[in-house]
Amino acid sequence: MCSLAHITQPEEIFLSSSLSRRELMRRSGLAGLGIAVSGSVAAIAAPEATGQITRAAAGYGPLVPDPDGLLSLPAGFSYRIIAEAGKTTLDSGELTPTDHDGAACFATADGLGLVLVNNHEIDEDEQPGVPPLPEVTYDPGARGGCTNISLDRLGNRTGEYVSIAGTHNNCAGGRTPWHTWLTCEETEDRAGGALTKDHGYVFEVDALDPEANKNPVPLKFLGRYSHEAVAVDPHNSTIYLTEDADTPSGLYFRWTPPRHFTGGKGALRELALSEGGDTAGRLQAMSCYKGSRHIADLSQATQPGTKYRVEWVDAPDRDARTTSVRNQFDDDQVTRCLKLEGAYWGDGGAHFVASYARVSDGSVNDHDGQVWFYDPENETVTLTTMFGVNPDPDADTNYDGPDNITVDPHGGVILAEDGEGIQHLVGVTEDGQSYPLARNDRNDSEFTGPTFSPDGNILFACIQSGPGYVFAITGPWR
């Protein structure tokens, strides 16, 4: 496990599953307020730190402004645009969809190429949407989905095609040990209006076999709620899931497969289609304890290294036929978290992110980001990274609102910033130092989908909108 004892700072406010954090900040009039709380930088940094935090000691040095005004990187690094919403074209002739989000990269079977699977977090309004191509469309009334970008082994684009369409608000997801992608719908919308089917499910996407993506099947046993991301245990196929929701705040879930289940390509689909497949395995919500004291909200933790014992509580009705899954529990049964976001399996456990919290929204403490690590062997969850409230989101050295996460094969983790003000890709070293890896110089859109090529030589990442971009970043990794 990475010991990410943390030092960052940041600022932001509460968010509903249908409203972006940025939109909520603007509506509330609190953007840039920079409320100082116990999660301030000085309180979270190493004991010798007293105020100004120096980040030059970590990472790859200062960011060099991009002359094209798009993506600033450290000296020696470069980027290529491998997809641009509304400009590059799909193999079928349509324009690349907008709103790129979670992503994962896979090597082709012959080792001569790569495939990058990209979510598109599209609901009703964003253009262009994912075209509802025959055979890969779940609901023709929904406009989200995934595209697969074909690349050579150096990360140069050779094509792009739709791998699933007709899904709704595909936010993040996660890769499986058998080299597929689980794409998550961040919604609880039911059939009605343009939508012909209920939504709020997880779907499996094959990066390498287009035939396997025909006739999409929702994995209903993983629950119907506002899914964000997943992490899969390679030893037993247990799936850990984050929920990005509010009123009340979301939950952290675990799905335990039924006895004799063996994970592999097509196995989840086969289970979903089997008799009783909608409720196969056990879907449970996390409940944390400090000794015998129940922890009602993860924002209670303010110090890196805080560790809680974990128990799991069965979800009564995982398809939420009458009541949202998170509303089926009393607060003393489960541990809630306002803004559960990215997830990634690594270091023998599941990393997951809480983007921010505010007392005004019912959280115990204010913060602008947490990273947690769940240890399945010891049944504990540990706070590894803490972002204090950002006093100035427009300062280039301040970070807030971590969202998507990936484990860096060179050490530590990479976080995609979705906060207020300047947006960065933020690296975090194993000893807890944060550093800038990239800066969005084009607009204030969030970074999404950081993921490395299998050999660790290329970092893929996206700017979500305005328009959406997908980048291949290379440089002197160490």
Give the tens place of pLDDT for each residue, 372-393.
Answer: 999 999 999 999 999 999 999 9
Does 259 fall in a domain?
A: yes
Angle at 25 between CA 362 and CA 422, to 5 degrees: 120
298 or 478, which is more confident? 298
Does 306 fall in a domain?
A: yes
| pLDDT given at position 432 | 85
pLDDT band at 431 (very low <50, low <70, confident <90, very high): confident
CB neighbour class for 138 (10 Å; exposed up to 12, middle 13-18, buried from 19) = buried
| pLDDT given at position 124 | 80
Q: Is the pLDDT of residue 10 over 90?
A: no
43 or 354, which is more confident? 354
71 or 32, which is more confident? 71
Nearest-angstrom CA–CA distance, 148 and 162: 6
Q: 7-16, 33-42, 227-236: lowest mean pLDDT where? A: 33-42
38 or 340, which is more confident? 340
Mean pLDDT to the nearest integer, 300-323: 97
pLDDT band at 58 (very low <50, low <70, confident <90, very high): confident
349 or 32, which is more confident? 349
Mean pLDDT to the nearest integer, 234-253: 97
Asked if residue 376 has a cis previous peptide bond (ω within 30° of 0), the answer is no
pLDDT band at 139 (very low <50, low <70, confident <90, very high): very high
Through-space distance between the first and last CA atoms of the chain, rounded to whole angstroms = 19
Does 11 fall in a domain?
A: no
Q: 40-54, 94-108, 190-204, 245-259: lowest mean pLDDT where? A: 40-54
Mean pLDDT to the nearest integer, 81-110: 98
Mean pLDDT to the nearest integer, 415-439: 94
pLDDT band at 57 (very low <50, low <70, confident <90, very high): low
- Which amino acid is present at 28? S
Cβ(174)–Cβ(103) below 8 Å: no
Beta strands in 292-409 (DSSP E): 293-295, 307-314, 340-346, 349-354, 370-375, 380-386, 402-407
**Residue 377 tokens, joined:** 């062997």
Q: Is the pLDDT of residue 59 over 70?
A: yes
Question: Domain of 255?
Answer: 21-474
Cβ(183)–Cβ(148) below 8 Å: no
CB neighbour class for 211 (10 Å; exposed up to 12, middle 13-18, buried from 19) = exposed
Does 12 fall in a domain?
A: no
Cβ(464)–Cβ(120) below 8 Å: no
Does 16 fall in a domain?
A: no
Overall domain count for the chain:
1
Tens of pLDDT along 252-309?
Answer: 999 999 999 999 999 999 999 999 999 999 999 999 999 999 999 999 999 999 999 9
| pLDDT given at position 397 | 86
pLDDT band at 31 (very low <50, low <70, confident <90, very high): very low
**Residue 276 tokens, joined:** 């009783």
Does 5 fall in a domain?
A: no
Q: What is the CATH number of the domain that holds 65?
A: 2.120.10.30
Cβ(129)–Cβ(97) below 8 Å: yes
Q: Give bridge partners of residue 253 from the DSSP assignment.
A: 241, 285
**Residue 270 tokens, joined:** 């086969």
Q: Give bridge partners of residue 387 from the DSSP assignment.
A: 8
Q: What is the mean pLDDT of the chain?
A: 89
Nearest-angstrom CA–CA distance, 181 and 296: 32
Q: Give bridge partners of residue 459 from the DSSP assignment.
A: 452, 473
Does 4 fall in a domain?
A: no
Listing DSSP states for 158-202 in one string gives EEEEEEEEEES-EEEEEE-TTSEEEEEEB--PPSBTTB-S----E
Does 9 fall in a domain?
A: no
**Residue 94 tokens, joined:** 């349509």
Q: Is the pLDDT of residue 25 over 70?
A: no
Q: Is the pLDDT of residue 337 over 80?
A: yes
| pLDDT given at position 6 | 34
| pLDDT given at position 80 | 98
Output the CA–CA distances (angstroms, integers) from residue 372 to 138, 292, 302, 466, in the order listed: 34, 21, 12, 31
Nearest-angstrom CA–CA distance, 131 and 150: 18
Nearest-angstrom CA–CA distance, 308 and 372: 11
46 or 345, which is more confident? 345
50 or 362, which is more confident? 362
Cβ(446)–Cβ(418) below 8 Å: yes
Long-range contacts of 70-75 (CB under 8 A, 24+ apart): 70/441, 70/442, 70/469, 71/438, 71/439, 71/440, 71/441, 71/442, 71/463, 71/469, 71/471, 71/473, 72/438, 72/439, 72/441, 73/437, 73/438, 73/473, 73/475, 74/436, 74/437, 74/475
Q: Is the pLDDT of residue 53 over 90?
A: no
User: Residue 344's closest CA among 407, 284, 431, 410?
Assistant: 407
| pLDDT given at position 34 | 25
Q: 17-26, 159-168, 418-427: lowest mean pLDDT where? A: 17-26
Outline where 398-461 has alpha helix (H).
Answer: none
Q: Is the pLDDT of residue 366 over 90?
A: yes
53 or 450, which is more confident? 450
